[in-house]
Amino acid sequence: MKFQELKKSLAQKINNFYYIKGEDAFLRQKALEMIENASVQFKDLNILRFDDENTNLGNIVDACRALPMLDNRRVVVLKDIAVKKQDDLKPLIEYVKKPNPTTVLVIVDSNNITAYKKIEEYAEIVDCSKLDSGMLSKLILNELSKYKCKINLDAINALIGYCDLDYTRINNETIKLANLIGEGGTIALKDVENNVHREVEYDIFELSKAVAVRNGQKAIDIIKHLLERKEAPQMLLMMVQSSFRRMFYTTTSKETNAEIANKLGIKEYSIKLSREQAQKFTPARLKKILDLGAELDYQIKAGQMSDENALLYYISTICEK
């Protein structure tokens, strides 16, 4: 289930085994707290945490079989326990097949550990992937209500984009902006632009949009902004090339967004955006853009062109065609 479904699920039933995963650290921690709060009253007595990579799984199973103290349940938390092979999980798999009814086992996996795949089928999975912009907007408004502040729609969109949908950053930046504006104030776009650091991924996305409509001046302005921030030109060229490669893949593949995201190891939301941007290009044009990027990469490595000149040439040429 998605993170936003967890609260309702816990109110109806508390399961014996939860597997928390996804790239948003704030949501993972929040999901763990929600499970703990719903499961036990006396936390000091009935919550046991394992976060040492050398932990013996036999000891974890023993902890799961122990009875709670002065409570109906106890919670056993495995947080980022390093498991290198699926065979190492045998004691735990045998346990979750027939768990102690008074124990809630929670695995928190921030590293997408492959070995855990074998145990997922026995768990209630809590997906803490990044939230969509609609849900993030509601959370921003809810946080700002504590400070009696308002925010303009374009400022909300910029804040979400600048932070690349990372709720940990969005929440921190929202609190910072609220304190900056003061009680009863309204956060405008300029407040976000002047006070929130933009993730490189956001600028790359905006750059791709500008290129798609052949807005050369805006594209060059974004490049200059990134270079002023001391971003490496060759790294930027690779990121732009990667963005176009995803677009090309979405135009030539019949797979769903989820299937492509899983194959490429990136967020499904990123594939959705790539597919939308790709509609402004033909497959043939995308192929030429990729070929140009490969040629410029060769020229950089051969010492025939500087990485900064190659980047500027790449963007200018794409916008002209």
Looking at the chain, the whole-number percentage of residues with pLDDT higher than 90 is 43
Give yes or no for residue 267 having a pLDDT over 80: no
Q: Which of 127, 144, 162 is the last residue of a domain?
A: 127
Looking at the chain, the whole-number percentage of residues with pLDDT higher than 70 is 96
Paired tokens of 8: 């309702």
CB of 290 within 8 A of CB of 317? Answer: no
| pLDDT of amino acid 321 | 62
Give yes or no for residue 262 having a pLDDT over 80: no
**Which residue type occupies 180?**
L
Q: Are residues 154 and 54 in the same domain?
A: no
Give yes or no for residue 113 having a pLDDT over 70: yes
> Can you point out the beta strands (E) in 120-201?
124-127, 150-151, 186-187
Residue 297 contacts by C-beta under 8 Å, 6 or more apart in sequence? 237, 238, 241, 310
Q: What is the DSSP letter of 13?
A: -
pLDDT band at 142 (very low <50, low <70, confident <90, very high): very high
Q: Are residues 161 and 85 in the same domain?
A: no
| pLDDT of amino acid 54 | 61
CB of 175 within 8 A of CB of 186? Answer: no
Q: Are residues 88 and 55 in the same domain?
A: yes
Domain ranges, residue 95: 3-127
Q: Which of 164, 180, 195 is the last residue of a domain?
A: 195
Q: Are residues 247 and 172 in the same domain?
A: no
Q: Are residues 156 and 219 in the same domain?
A: no
How far apart are alpha carbons 221 and 302 in whole angstroms?
28
| pLDDT of amino acid 170 | 92
Task: State the Cα torsion 262-263-267-271 to the nearest 10°.
Answer: -120
Q: Which of 171, 195, 219 is the last residue of a domain?
A: 195
Paired tokens of 70: 């002065």
Quick one: average pLDDT of 312-321? 85
Q: Are residues 265 and 316 in the same domain?
A: yes
Give yes or no for residue 319 having a pLDDT over 90: no
The structural domain count of the chain equals 3
What's the CATH code of the domain at 279? 1.20.272.10
Q: Are residues 82 and 164 in the same domain?
A: no
pLDDT digit string, tens, across residues 31-70: 999 999 999 999 889 999 987 666 677 888 999 999 999 9
What's the CATH code of the domain at 139? 1.10.8.60
Quick one: average pLDDT of 274-299? 89
Q: Are residues 140 and 222 in the same domain?
A: no
What's the CATH code of the domain at 25? 3.40.50.300
Q: Are residues 28 and 107 in the same domain?
A: yes
Q: Are residues 83 and 181 in the same domain?
A: no
User: Rounded to 5 degrees, what are φ and ψ at 19?
Assistant: -120, 110
Quick one: average pLDDT of 277-300? 90
pLDDT digit string, tens, across residues 144-189: 999 999 999 999 999 998 888 888 889 999 999 999 999 899 999 9
Give yes or no for residue 74 having a pLDDT over 60: yes
Paired tokens of 277: 């941007």
pLDDT digit string, tens, across residues 209-256: 888 888 888 888 889 888 888 889 888 898 889 889 888 988 888 888
| pLDDT of amino acid 6 | 93
Q: Are residues 238 and 293 in the same domain?
A: yes
Q: Are residues 38 and 119 in the same domain?
A: yes
Paired tokens of 132: 């969509």
